[in-house]
Chain A
Amino acid sequence: MAEAGVSMDSIREKVVEAEERIRKAAGLEELKAIATEYLGKNGALTSLLRTVGSLPPEERPKFGQAVNEAKRSLEVLVAARETELLEVERRRAEERERVDLTMPGRAFRTGIAHPITQTEDRIKAAMIGLGFEFFEGPELEEMKYNFEALNYPPDHPAMDDQDTFYIDDHRLMRTQCTAIQGRVFEAKKPPLRVFTVGRCFRNETVDRTHGHTFHQVDAFMVDRGVNMAHLKGTLKAFATAMFGEGTQVRFRPDYFPFVEPGVDYSISCPFCSGNGCAVCKSSGWIELGGAGLIHPNILRSYGIDTEEWTGWAFGLGVERIPMMQYQIDDLRLFYENDYRFLEQFRA
Chain B
Amino acid sequence: MRLPLEWLQDYVETEVPAAEIADLLTNLGHEVEAIHESDIGPVLEIKVTPNRGDCLSVLGVARELAAKDSQRFQPTELMRTAVRGWTLGDESKPLSETSVAIEAPDLCPRYGARVWTDVKTGPSSERVQRRITAAGMRPIDVVVDTTNYVMLELGQPLHAFDLDTLKEDRIVVRTAKPGEQIRTLDGVDRKLEPEMLMICDAERPVAVAGVMGGEETEVTPQTRRILLESAHFNPQSVRRTRRALNLHTEASHRFERYVDPEGVVRALNRFAILYEEQTGCRPCEGVADVYVRRWEPKKVPVREERWKMLLAMDVPRAIAASSLIALGCQVSESTEGLEATGPSWRSDLAIEEDFIEEIGRLYGYDKMPDLLPQGSTPLGGESALTALRSRARQAMLRLGYVEVVTHTLRAPSPLDAAEPLIPLRNPGSPEAAFLRNSLLPGLADVAPRNYGPSPFVFEIGRTFAGDREAVSLGALLAGRILPEHWASKQEDTVDFSAAKGCLERLFSHLRREAALEPSSDERFHPARQAKIMCAGKDVGIVGQLRRDLCEELHLPKESYAFEVCLSDVLDVPEYVPKYRPVSSFPFVRRDMAIEVSKAVPYADIEAAIQEAAGELLERIWLFDVYEGKGIPEGKHSLGVAMILRHPEKTLTDEEANAVRERAVARLEQLGAKLR
Residues of A within 8 A of B (CB): 103-104, 106-114, 116-117, 121, 124, 127-136, 138-140, 153-158, 160-161, 164-168, 173, 191-193, 199, 201, 203-206, 212-213, 221, 223-230, 232-237, 249-255, 257, 260-263, 293, 295-297, 310, 334-339, 342-343
Among B28, B239, B372, the most chain A Cβ lie within 10 Å of the Cβ of B372
The contact sample of 18 A-B pairs, CB cut-off 8 A, is: A112-B402, A112-B403, A114-B403, A131-B377, A133-B379, A155-B243, A156-B235, A166-B424, A173-B409, A173-B435, A191-B375, A226-B375, A228-B365, A232-B368, A254-B49, A260-B353, A310-B310, A337-B405
- Give 10 new A-B contacts, CB below 8 A, not counting A199-B461, A228-B360, A233-B371: A107-B488, A164-B426, A166-B425, A173-B424, A193-B373, A225-B309, A227-B311, A228-B310, A228-B368, A339-B449
Residue of B nearest to A124 (CB): B382
Cβ contacts under 8 Å, A166 to chain B:
424-426
If A223-B373, A339-B402 touch, whether A260 touches B427 (CB-CB below 8 Å) is no
Are A131 and B380 within 8 A (Cβ)? Answer: yes
Cβ contacts under 8 Å, B38 to chain A:
none
CB distance from A119 to the nearest CB of B (A): 11
CA A135 to CA B354, docked complex, whole Å: 29
Are B373 and A233 within 8 A (Cβ)? Answer: yes
CA A133 to CA B382, docked complex, whole Å: 6
Contact with A along B222-251 (1 / 0, CB 8 A): 000000000000011001100100000000
CB distance from A174 to the nearest CB of B (A): 11
Are B310 and A293 within 8 A (Cβ)? Answer: yes
Are A113 and B312 within 8 A (Cβ)? Answer: no
CA A160 to CA B373, docked complex, whole Å: 34
Contact with A along B384-411 (1 / 0, CB 8 A): 0110001001001111111111111100
Cβ contacts under 8 Å, B461 to chain A:
199
CA A167 to CA B371, docked complex, whole Å: 42
Are A132 and B380 within 8 A (Cβ)? Answer: yes
Are B409 and A201 within 8 A (Cβ)? Answer: yes
Cβ contacts under 8 Å, A295 to chain B:
353
Cβ contacts under 8 Å, B404 to chain A:
114, 337, 342
**Of B357, B383, B424, B432, the contact of A134 (CB 8 Å cutoff):** B383
Are A260 and B366 within 8 A (Cβ)? Answer: no
Residue of A nearest to B369 (CB): A229
Are A127 and B380 within 8 A (Cβ)? Answer: yes
CA A27 to CA B300, docked complex, whole Å: 108
If A128-B380, A228-B311 touch, whether A253 touches B409 (CB-CB below 8 Å) is no
**Of B239, B356, B399, the contact of A155 (CB 8 Å cutoff):** B239
Residue of B nearest to A113 (CB): B403
Are A201 and B380 within 8 A (Cβ)? Answer: no
Cβ contacts under 8 Å, A121 to chain B:
390
Q: Which of B126-134, B162-170, B478-486 contacts A (4 or more CB under 8 A)?
A: B478-486
Residue of B nearest to A202 (CB): B428
Cβ contacts under 8 Å, A136 to chain B:
383, 385-386
If A107-B483, A134-B386, A233-B372 touch, whether A139 touches B312 (CB-CB below 8 Å) is no
B422 within 8 A of A: yes
Are A233 and B469 within 8 A (Cβ)? Answer: no
Cβ contacts under 8 Å, B383 to chain A:
133-136
Are B370 and A233 within 8 A (Cβ)? Answer: yes
If A111-B401, A128-B381, A139-B469 touch, whether A199 touches B408 (CB-CB below 8 Å) is yes
B27 within 8 A of A: yes
B292 within 8 A of A: no
Cβ contacts under 8 Å, A337 to chain B:
402, 404-406, 446, 449-450, 457
CA A92 to CA B523, docked complex, whole Å: 59
B464 within 8 A of A: yes
Are A167 and B368 within 8 A (Cβ)? Answer: no
Cβ contacts under 8 Å, B424 to chain A:
165-167, 173
Cβ contacts under 8 Å, B377 to chain A:
131
Top-6 shortest CB links A-B: A109-B400, A253-B29, A111-B397, A229-B312, A261-B357, A255-B49
Q: In terms of DSSP, what is the predominant structure of the interface of chain A?
A: mixed
CA A154 to CA B312, docked complex, whole Å: 32
Are B257 and A139 within 8 A (Cβ)? Answer: no
B183 within 8 A of A: no
Are A339 and B426 within 8 A (Cβ)? Answer: no
Contact with A along B518-550 (1 / 0, CB 8 A): 000000000000000000000000000000000
**Of A164, A191, A234, the contact of B372 (CB 8 Å cutoff):** A234
Residues of B within 8 A of A (CB): 26-29, 31, 49-52, 235-236, 239-240, 243, 256-257, 309-312, 351-354, 356-357, 360-361, 365-366, 368-373, 375-383, 385-386, 390, 393, 396-409, 422-429, 432, 435, 446, 449-451, 456-457, 461-462, 464, 469, 481-488
CB distance from B424 to the nearest CB of A (A): 5
**Of A103, A204, A334, the contact of B486 (CB 8 Å cutoff):** A103
CA A226 to CA B397, docked complex, whole Å: 40
Are A223 and B375 within 8 A (Cβ)? Answer: yes
Cβ contacts under 8 Å, B432 to chain A:
212
Cβ contacts under 8 Å, B464 to chain A:
140
If A134-B386, A339-B451 touch, whether A191 touches B257 (CB-CB below 8 Å) is no
Are A296 and B50 within 8 A (Cβ)? Answer: no
Are A157 and B312 within 8 A (Cβ)? Answer: no
CA A231 to CA B483, docked complex, whole Å: 49
If A139-B462, A227-B309 touch, whether A261 touches B360 (CB-CB below 8 Å) is yes
If A157-B50, A250-B366 touch, whether A230 touches B357 (CB-CB below 8 Å) is no
Cβ contacts under 8 Å, B373 to chain A:
193, 221, 223, 226, 230, 233-234
Cβ contacts under 8 Å, A252 to chain B:
26-27, 29, 31, 365
Cβ contacts under 8 Å, B403 to chain A:
111-114, 117, 342
Cβ contacts under 8 Å, B371 to chain A:
229-230, 232-233
Cβ contacts under 8 Å, B49 to chain A:
254-255
Are B449 and A213 within 8 A (Cβ)? Answer: no
If A117-B403, A139-B469 touch, whether A203 touches B426 (CB-CB below 8 Å) is yes
If A128-B382, A227-B312, A262-B357 touch, whether A114 touches B405 (CB-CB below 8 Å) is yes
CA A65 to CA B442, docked complex, whole Å: 92
Are A157 and B257 within 8 A (Cβ)? Answer: yes
Residue of A nearest to B397 (CB): A111
If A114-B404, A223-B376 touch, whether A156 touches B50 (CB-CB below 8 Å) is yes
CB distance from A338 to the nearest CB of B (A): 5
CA A203 to CA B49, docked complex, whole Å: 20
Are A131 and B310 within 8 A (Cβ)? Answer: no
**Of B311, B354, B487, the contact of A106 (CB 8 Å cutoff):** B487
Cβ contacts under 8 Å, B428 to chain A:
165, 203-206, 212
Cβ contacts under 8 Å, B236 to chain A:
153-156
Cβ contacts under 8 Å, B407 to chain A:
212-213, 335
Are A155 and B402 within 8 A (Cβ)? Answer: no
Are A139 and B408 within 8 A (Cβ)? Answer: yes
Residue of B nearest to A161 (CB): B50
CB distance from A150 to the nearest CB of B (A): 14
Residue of A nearest to B399 (CB): A111
Among B403, B449, B457, the most chain A Cβ lie within 10 Å of the Cβ of B403
**Of B240, B483, B486, the contact of A109 (CB 8 Å cutoff):** B483
CB distance from A184 to the nearest CB of B (A): 11
Are B309 and A293 within 8 A (Cβ)? Answer: no
CA A157 to CA B242, docked complex, whole Å: 12
Residue of B nearest to A192 (CB): B378
CA A117 to CA B386, docked complex, whole Å: 12
